[in-house]
Structure 1
């Protein structure tokens, strides 16, 4: 069953009412039967100062053309309009009592023209390839347009001759992996090495936590020597976007305090982000760059959560165009080239179709085909 949640608009979009007002076209009042899910269900939010213009601005920030207000303060978005007319749009808008914002089971629907974004390609893009991905799905991507991959491991997941021209980048994912680095990379068979994966995430939340001090000791003993031995480019530990004390940026700053320039070197800074807003994604990436301006950024995991397939796909297209335009973002890998069932509660962002026969629209966008 389709599920939705109401999310505060302030976390999702910056309202640009004046830009929307000039292109907004009201198309009428339509019934919303609320039988399990809203009629307009690509995105949903609750706006305390709701107006048709503010709702439309929220929807257009997701590249969704149809917006609908209901019960004064509710806002719904859809790629297609409702079909059943209603006479019950009588509720004043929460943000302007002179305007009507739907009613009980009734939507005041508007249409806004959405500019089409062209397909893009960027060699910044890589694949975060799970160890249990079906090898056949490599065929859906081109190493000329997505020229690197990693798999959270120290061993290359590709059979001989498959996606072979792409660069494989190993990762020391956990503390237990650190002593195994030399075994896997004794022949200096990689140019780059990714550090620990989300060492700031507690085990209670599914992570492999490493304290900043312990991580610094492991780095000095096992990771830093690979720069001397093999001249490898080293990526710092990839942190979550959590703002909880001891996690995210706070963890990284503590780690850098224990792993100083005289003993540790870092050539780029990988980060992760999952959330519900393009603006928040941009804000987080920008903040990390401002705090650590000397390091190129790699966003090695990122994705939007809580939206429909359509809204998620639209956000992905906007996000990759923004990432491509940021000079300090050196590389990024979107989560994930998988089918919906293996997307860790993010099925609407799957890049591979359920039957493993091809790419979803999200996958086509990432591959530069749509």
Structure 2
């Protein structure tokens, strides 16, 4: 069958200018959503193509915002052993109600002084029964003995093979990309059979503010996207400078406000725009 030159040209133009196909999810990028973010909209960081498609809020209740979870996949977090906001007795019920397919657990227990043995017993009792993906407690990047990745190893030892988990969960704050890359690679080398999730990370209050954070995140995102052992990552933090300083002044002083994903008017910051880039 003959095809006219006009038809061939039309087909070529259709191919060149066709709308790109939507990305297949789930992707790796997500939002750390503080509970004081009620006026912000997580959907602003949802491009509909799965570039950013995850959100967690340190709780087992849905994110408080002007737009629910903004179309992003919510991950529940039992951030403390038993909280007023997230009672451990409600964990299984909330998982069923909200349908989250992954649960994060204890937030920085190595910093709060929770012993690995106590955490192991708690995990076996409350987290093991959930028939979903599970992450071990999120630890700091401290290299002090008994903290950070050492704490994780001690918990795994205390579990004696009796804790069921899919992910090693780490946080990181430091001075430069090289330090961050080394820490993530260290986590992988210690736990090569498990995927890594990084649920908080940023430079620690760099002198160049947002410009320094952008330079860091550009390198970090490229590294994490290419690392097959990294399952998810969440730059800190999905809020605005004003909300961060008002509700968490100690955190804002520690990290700085240059890494926030929103501007004070609720629009996406330069860091947020970087996050939604492919």
Is the TM-score greater than 0.5?
Answer: yes
* Higher-strand-fraction structure: 1
Q: 1:181 matched to which residue of 2?
A: 91
SS in 1 for 2:154: helix
* More contact order relative to length (CA 8 Å, sep ≥ 6): 2
| CA 155–176 in structure 1, closer or farther in 2 if over 3 Å, else same | same
SS in 2 for 1:347: coil
> How many Å separate the matches in 2 of 1:134 and 1:222?
29
Map of 1:71-110 to 2, 5 A cutoff? none
SS in 2 for 1:250: helix
| CA 188–354 in structure 1, closer or farther in 2 if over 3 Å, else same | closer
Unaligned runs of 5+ in 2: 1-22, 246-251
Map of 1:217-228 to 2, 5 A cutoff? 217-226=121-130
> How many Å separate the matches in 2 of 1:165 and 1:198?
28
CA contact (8 A) 2:44 2:70 kept: no
SS in 2 for 1:127: strand
Q: 2:105 matched to which residue of 1?
A: 195
| CA 246–179 in structure 1, closer or farther in 2 if over 3 Å, else same | farther
| CA 179–325 in structure 1, closer or farther in 2 if over 3 Å, else same | same
Q: 1:12 matched to which residue of 2?
A: none
| CA 295–149 in structure 1, closer or farther in 2 if over 3 Å, else same | same
Q: 1:210 matched to which residue of 2?
A: 114
1:244, distance to aligned residue in structure 2 (A): 1.1
Map of 1:230-241 to 2, 5 A cutoff? 231-241=131-141
> How many Å separate the matches in 2 of 1:186 and 1:360?
34
Unaligned runs of 5+ in 1: 1-120, 203-208
Runs in 1 of length 4+ with deviation above 6 angstroms? none
TM-score by length of 2: 0.79
> How many Å separate the matches in 2 of 1:326 and 1:124?
11
Q: 1:286 matched to which residue of 2?
A: 185
Q: 1:366 matched to which residue of 2?
A: 275
> How many Å separate the matches in 1 of 2:198 and 2:181?
11
Map of 1:33-112 to 2, 5 A cutoff? none
Query: Max radius of gyration: which structure?
Result: 1
